[in-house]
Structure 1
Amino acid sequence: MSLRIDSSTPFILLQDKGRFGCRHLGVTQGGALDWVSMGWANWMLGNHPDAAVVEIGLGGLTLTCQRDGALAIAGADLGASLDGQPLPAWGAFKVRAGQCLAFAHPRQGTRAYLAAPGGFLGERQLGSLSTMAREELGGLHANGKALASGDQLRWQGEAGSIRDVPRAAIPDLGGEARLELIMGAQAGDFSGQSLFDAFNTSWTVDTRADRMGVRLLGPVLECKRQSMISEGIALGAVQVPPDGQPIALLNDRQTIGGYPRLGALTPLAVARLAQCLPGASLRLVPTVQEAAHKVHREALTAWWG
């Protein structure tokens, strides 16, 4: 074994890029919410960007290293420490058997990602290890359960050289987030005032937020469309239910939905939203598909060269 979990919470999950090609079965994609931080954590160890990692939501995780090796963390600053000595929120580091790795509580951001050489091992279901509680898929024991005290994690590679993430690539998770949104098919059904308000006021992240979606609090958005046939739901879709408060749908979302959509957040915006704590402030910024593709390709180029 490589790591023993000594204490955990329901928000400590084994994740990778998620499941694709199975939404016609009613199975959504899942996967790491902040795929950017997951990719960089893997990059530091020379892994494929989609290798399985531990997604650590809000801290509360302690582990004991059972073999020498190297690990990397990226994403939120959760007060990580090794044998009581502080670790940077972004960085790779050597570990020895018997050392204790701990994540306390959020200082900035919501989710940190722990990577190991070659990625963590587990039983793949529908092509992925990603933990999906609703579908009871994935995770260490292939039952959709979060990692728990006593679980043993294994990694499949050997510790090699480690790399430092360029400072320019480390996101600032403080302050007001700016989330780019591509306008959707029903955007024209919203009143002009609602469209103005959507992009010219600040939104607050509600406490009603999980891996399925994040409710945003702010001005009431009015849509003249009273009903519609349910449609497939893309990652980042921003639905507006009758109360006028938008919901940004994330990786564990339902596969279809019948509320009108303002549009969809770009993949980079989804990753940033995943790091927003309840009460955080954000702005929606309109963009077009071509510009979003360009920015997305640039982000991937940082890993692949």
Structure 2
Amino acid sequence: MSFDVLEPGMLALVQDAGRYGYQHMGVTTGGPMDEYAFFWANRLLNNDLNAPQIEITFGRFSLKANHDACIAITGGDLGARINDRAIAPWRTHHISKGDRLDFSAPVSGLRAYLAVSGGFRPAMKLGSCATVAREGLGGLNGKGAKLAKGDKLEFDQNAPFVEAFLPEPEIPDYHQHLRLGLIPGYQYRSFPAVQRMKFFSCEYEISQNIDRMGYRLKGDAIHSDLDGIVSEGIAYGAIQVPKDGQPIVLMKDRQTIGGYPKIGCLSALDAGLLSQRGPGSSVSFYLSDVAEAEGRRMLFNQRLKTGAPGVSTT
């Protein structure tokens, strides 16, 4: 059972939840930029939460179904259509043999997630299929390549179609102003109080320099008392501040160590919200802590367990 890639778009990547346990060797985790959307796509289909999906950035991606399938689409609205019929994200859909699935251009958000009942079946490297191009790991054939025209996406036997969807109040609004919680990091106190006040009172703009490694922001420059630090491990969502004072939020394909002072870190859920915003969008920060981030994550994990309308809880 399979799909054929008709048009690869700008960037379509095979992803699972990430490649863990190898950062000490310089291998980053990779995985979905937006965990909220990724995990819900699998949950709507009652897949294993780690089942491989396709992360589609900016759209222009097209597939042909070689077999009937049950799919789920979450994340950004990239103008998805089955044949000429528009379909909404954050729900399951039935696709028949011979149908064409197209993603056009962003209506809201930047990244959509396409899951299939049973999960896709790419090659596995170091226990994961997460695509990290600069490391040459993951993807369809395990070599870190993005999807290309003519690729065949195989998937396991589908379960019968079940209509399932995420309720409207739980669907993120990617148009609203983004305000993110900063968990103070090791070098937080090295930023003088006036610099911290500037950071929390400034509204930053997302620059043109964004990718799966990091999001560079533009706004009031902030400076640490440190010229640099001994290189140390970098967490997903860490906000490092180079000498120009413009913050950089480190994302899924970040380097594993770095030597710039870090004012703090975002939670994975907040970093996922940031990943759905494009250049020119605004973002601001408030002071958070580990307890708040853990509480939000526990609520999210529990919500996944309870499912959504149409999702089996057994």
TM-score (norm: length of structure 1): 0.98
- Whether 2:228 is the aligned partner of 1:227: answer yes
When structure 1 is superposed on structure 2, of 101-110 and 190-199 the one drifting more is: 190-199
Structure 1 CA distance for aligned equivalents of residues 77 and 209 of structure 2: 22
Assess if the C-alpha contact under 8 Å between 1:131 and 1:144 holds in 2: yes
Kindly provide the amino acid, as one letter, of the partner of residue 184 in structure 2. Answer: M
The C-alpha deviation readout for 1:57-106, integer Å capped at 9, x for no partner, is: 00010110110111110000100011111110222110101111000011
Assess if the C-alpha contact under 8 Å between 1:9 and 1:146 holds in 2: no
What runs of 5+ residues in structure 1 fail to find an aligned partner? none
Assess if the C-alpha contact under 8 Å between 2:237 and 2:268 holds in 1: yes
Structure 1 CA distance for aligned equivalents of residues 159 and 80 of structure 2: 20
- Whether 2:5 is the aligned partner of 1:22: answer no
When structure 1 is superposed on structure 2, of 281-290 and 252-261 the one drifting more is: 281-290
Instruction: Report the 3-state secondary structure (helix = DSSP H, G, I; strand = E; otherwise coil) of the residue aligned with 1:118.
Output: coil
The C-alpha deviation readout for 1:223-266, integer Å capped at 9, x for no partner, is: 11112100000110000000000000001000000000010001
Assess if the C-alpha contact under 8 Å between 1:206 and 1:214 holds in 2: yes
Instruction: Report the 3-state secondary structure (helix = DSSP H, G, I; strand = E; otherwise coil) of the residue aligned with 1:178.
Output: strand
Instruction: Report the 3-state secondary structure (helix = DSSP H, G, I; strand = E; otherwise coil) of the residue aligned with 1:204.
Output: strand
- 2:277 paired residue number: 276
Deviation at 1:296, TM superposition (A): 0.6
Structure 1 CA distance for aligned equivalents of residues 78 and 132 of structure 2: 23
Kindly provide the amino acid, as one letter, of the partner of residue 140 in structure 2. Answer: L
Deviation at 1:302, TM superposition (A): 1.0
- 1:69 paired residue number: 69
Assess if the C-alpha contact under 8 Å between 1:10 and 1:146 holds in 2: no
- 1:203 paired residue number: 204
Instruction: Report the 3-state secondary structure (helix = DSSP H, G, I; strand = E; otherwise coil) of the residue aligned with 2:48.
Output: coil
- 2:254 paired residue number: 253
Assess if the C-alpha contact under 8 Å between 2:10 and 2:60 holds in 1: no
Deviation at 1:55, TM superposition (A): 0.1
Structure 2 CA distance for aligned equivalents of residues 106 and 129 of structure 1: 26
Assess if the C-alpha contact under 8 Å between 2:124 and 2:138 holds in 1: yes
Deviation at 1:10, TM superposition (A): 4.5
Assess if the C-alpha contact under 8 Å between 1:46 and 1:162 holds in 2: no
RMSD after superposition: 1.0
Aligned 1:154-303 pairs, distance under 5 A: 154-160=154-160, 161-303=162-304
Kindly provide the amino acid, as one letter, of the partner of residue 174 in structure 2. Answer: L
Assess if the C-alpha contact under 8 Å between 2:10 and 2:59 holds in 1: no
TM-score (norm: length of structure 2): 0.95
**Sequence identity percentage:** 39
Assess if the C-alpha contact under 8 Å between 2:222 and 2:245 holds in 1: yes
Kindly provide the amino acid, as one letter, of the partner of residue 20 in structure 2. Answer: F
- Whether 2:2 is the aligned partner of 1:2: answer yes
When structure 1 is superposed on structure 2, of 212-221 and 85-94 the one drifting more is: 85-94
Moved over 3 A (4+): none
Kindly provide the amino acid, as one letter, of the partner of residue 280 in structure 1. Answer: S
- 1:146 paired residue number: 146
- 1:135 paired residue number: 135
Assess if the C-alpha contact under 8 Å between 1:70 and 1:159 holds in 2: yes
Kindly provide the amino acid, as one letter, of the partner of residue 240 in structure 1. Answer: V
Structure 1 CA distance for aligned equivalents of residues 280 and 2 of structure 2: 37
What runs of 5+ residues in structure 2 fail to find an aligned partner? 307-314
Structure 2 CA distance for aligned equivalents of residues 110 and 285 of structure 1: 24
- 1:37 paired residue number: 37
Deviation at 1:139, TM superposition (A): 0.3
- 1:125 paired residue number: 125
Structure 2 CA distance for aligned equivalents of residues 126 and 157 of structure 1: 25
Structure 2 CA distance for aligned equivalents of residues 263 and 207 of structure 1: 22
Instruction: Report the 3-state secondary structure (helix = DSSP H, G, I; strand = E; otherwise coil) of the residue aligned with 2:135.
Output: coil
Structure 1 CA distance for aligned equivalents of residues 119 and 164 of structure 2: 16
The C-alpha deviation readout for 1:30-61, integer Å capped at 9, x for no partner, is: 00000110111111111122211000000010
When structure 1 is superposed on structure 2, of 166-175 and 291-300 the one drifting more is: 166-175
| Distance change in 2, residues 1:157/1:177 (3 Å) | farther
Structure 2 CA distance for aligned equivalents of residues 183 and 227 of structure 1: 18
Kindly provide the amino acid, as one letter, of the partner of residue 3 in structure 2. Answer: L
Kindly provide the amino acid, as one letter, of the partner of residue 149 in structure 1. Answer: K
Structure 2 CA distance for aligned equivalents of residues 268 and 226 of structure 1: 31
- 2:312 paired residue number: none
Structure 1 CA distance for aligned equivalents of residues 198 and 80 of structure 2: 39
Structure 2 CA distance for aligned equivalents of residues 176 and 259 of structure 1: 28
Assess if the C-alpha contact under 8 Å between 2:240 and 2:260 holds in 1: yes
Structure 2 CA distance for aligned equivalents of residues 284 and 65 of structure 1: 43
Instruction: Report the 3-state secondary structure (helix = DSSP H, G, I; strand = E; otherwise coil) of the residue aligned with 1:134.
Output: helix
